[in-house]
Structure 1
Amino acid sequence: MNNRCFCALLLNVVLMCLGGTGTVLYAQVARHASLRLPVVPDSLTDTASRLTYVLEHYWDNMPWDDNGACADTTFVEQSMVDFLDLMSHADSTLATCAYAHFLDLLPKGMYGWLTDMTCEYLYTPDSPVYNTETFASAADAILAHRALDSYKLLVLKDRHASIMKNRVGHNAADFDLVTLDGERKRLYDAVAGSKRVLLLFYDPDCEVCAELEQRLALSDNVNAAIARKDLAIVAVDPFGTPEQQWREHASTLPRTWTVGYSPEGKVYEDEVYVISVAPVVYLLDGNMRVQVKDASGAQLASWLAQ
């Protein structure tokens, strides 16, 4: 995956696509050339209808029969990344329909390349457009299309099954954890009565995890929310770390948090939650419904500010 193809997030593209009227829409930022976006009719004035139009007509200007354009891998890849980022602003139904339409347009010789690219960009955590919800929408369309070979279908089905776990809007999976005092409890019992829950899966040896833990521990707003019982933080080592090593680290975390480990690393080994790279943060409401899955730093900051 060529991360240079995505030199800036496409917020500018989205704003121009959805906020402008009757103009050719493309991002005025330092980035590789990509597909010219469609002109949105002036009659479409609300954001949802404008986004729908852009997604439905995104590929109208793609010269599929031009071998030179299709052979320009940088141009095609940038256009693909832009499309995937736009999909992330749509609901799952629209995103799936838009991707299904794209699949119908694809020349046979490009099908494997661009579906592989889609999965790599949307499923890889360090991708600039990593998004599990958008991956699920694209995977739904690809699986329905039934054009991949049997091995790729098997891999896609396995990834799709993993993504479907603990989706936004659904209840988070309950599991056992053991706390510093040796008590074994269920996640739901540990946070009963809390209005919101920050569920953090960490690795004691992870520097990025330690940085996040410190920021949360030192945040006056977070600590005030915990004191009001508006927020509960549950930090869990899911990896089966040796207990003494886990204890040494866990003892440094705030006592106002619920800190525990997954017995025998079952949360990770049984894929109760899909944890590719620690830290992984789930943001839940008081009914244990997932509000944000695998939250980014920006998503976490926004959620905590609510």
Structure 2
Amino acid sequence: MNRYGLLIGLILLLASCRAKPGTAEARESAPTDSTVVQALVFPFPEIPATLTEPEARKSYLLTHYWEQFDFADTTLVNNRDVTEQGFVNFIALLLDGTTPEELTRESLANWCAGFVGKEHARQVLTQTADDYLFNPNSPFYNENLYGLYLETLLGMLPQTDAMRSSYQFKLKLVKRNNPGNRATDFTYYLPNGTRRTLAATQVKGDRLLLMFYDPECESCHEVLLQMAADTALAEAVRAGKLSVLAVYTEGNDEAWRKALPDLPKGWTVGIDHEAVKTGALYDLKAMPSLYLLDGQKTVLLKDAAYEKIRATLAL
């Protein structure tokens, strides 16, 4: 059983086995003056015993997940063991691969409705969503769910809300250059000054590895060294099975030219004069940013790790 499946089982078991208030079981387990008050735990909803099918129980849990959570209690909101762990369990359920989009949207709407009018809770929970769903280093990184959350939140905020433009900007980023869509066109310049566009870039073997990079960033340097040492990649480029386009996005012409000799032969290397970054044409929150395109510039992989691109290309 995978970790999400195990998590679902544990949460459903927890929700169904909670003692009902007023029962003997609840009275026996309740703290007394002589006992130590237990640490706070996330207040999961109690699933009706009449719901026996796993799908129905999961649907009820997600729909009512946040109903007993007090978003106005700043102490509770600040308790990471409760709030953050509760959120992690929540998105794990949403991302288990079996949750319909309609249920996902309803669950997100109920969650957003709880904090949207509570300034502190909103600040904490929107940052939590960014950290877990929009950070590429997070194991829960998922732009699709993040986009659904942003759409839900924007649908509830007043038009005059000061954060609307920030949320709208992020939503535009996650909707751009997704697999199956045509990659956004942009202009870049070769070392000799020749002007080119992505759309007009010739592609060999119907595959283009597009890389946005900065040789002065440590992570970029590590990935570039890995790619430069990859003999299978070099052979694919030499044999015309693949084209590589590396575009420098940071605007320091001197730094870009100084690092040109470090890039492998056979690659097309350009500088975009910061057009991609300033126009937010691609999401460059983590560098390098790698995309796999076909010959028509349709996105096959978006902002993917080099290992995943290698596996897709069967290098």
Q: Report the TM-score range of the alignment, normalised by the length of the smaller protein.
A: 0.7 to 0.9
Match of 1:259 among 269, 280, 291: 269
Distance in 1, Cα, partners of 2:109 & 2:205? 41
Amino acid at match of 1:161: K
**TM-score, normalised via structure 1 length:** 0.73
Larger Rg over CA atoms: 2
* Alpha carbons 1:55, 1:87 under 8 Å: kept: no
In structure 1, runs of 5+ residues without a counterpart are 1-10, 27-32, 45-49
Partners of 1:227 and 1:53 lie apart in 2 by: 56
Pairwise CA RMSD: 3.9
Structure 1 residue 54: Cα displacement = 4.3
2:68 corresponds to 1:58 = no
Name the residue aligned to 2:6. Answer: 16
Letter in 1 for 2:87: M
Match for residue 83 of structure 1? 90
Counterpart check, 1:273 vs 2:282: yes
* Larger mean Cα displacement after TM superposition, 270-279 or 203-212: 270-279
Shift of 1:204: 2.1
Is the contact made by 2:7 and 2:89 (CA closer than 8 Å) also made in structure 1?
Answer: no
How many residues were matched structurally? 281
Distance 2:92 2:149 in 1: 12
Measured after TM superposition, the shift of residue 199 of structure 1 is: 0.9
- Which is further off, 73-82 or 54-63? 54-63
Q: Report matched runs for 1:160-175 at 5 Å.
A: 160-175=171-186
CA distance in 2, matches of 1:114, 1:288: 37
CA 65–187 in structure 1, closer or farther in 2 if over 3 Å, else same: closer
2:297 is the counterpart of 1:288: yes
Q: Using a 3 Å threshold, how does the CA distance of structure 1 residues 34 and 129 change in structure 2: closer, same or farther?
A: farther
User: Which 10-residue stretch deviates more, 293-302 or 270-279?
Assistant: 293-302
- 2:203 aligns with 192
Once the two structures are superposed, the pairs formed by residues 50-199 of structure 1 within 5 Å of their partners are 54=58, 57-58=61-62, 60=64, 63-64=68-69, 72-88=79-95, 93-94=101-102, 95-104=104-113, 109=118, 110-111=121-122, 113-146=124-157, 150-199=161-210
2:206 and 2:43 mapped to 1: Cα distance? 45
Once the two structures are superposed, residues 69-107 of structure 1 have per-residue CA deviations (whole angstroms, 9 ceiling, x without a partner) of: 767432211121233345455599454444224335669
The code of the aligned residue for 2:69 comes to: W
Q: TM-score, normalised by structure 2?
A: 0.71
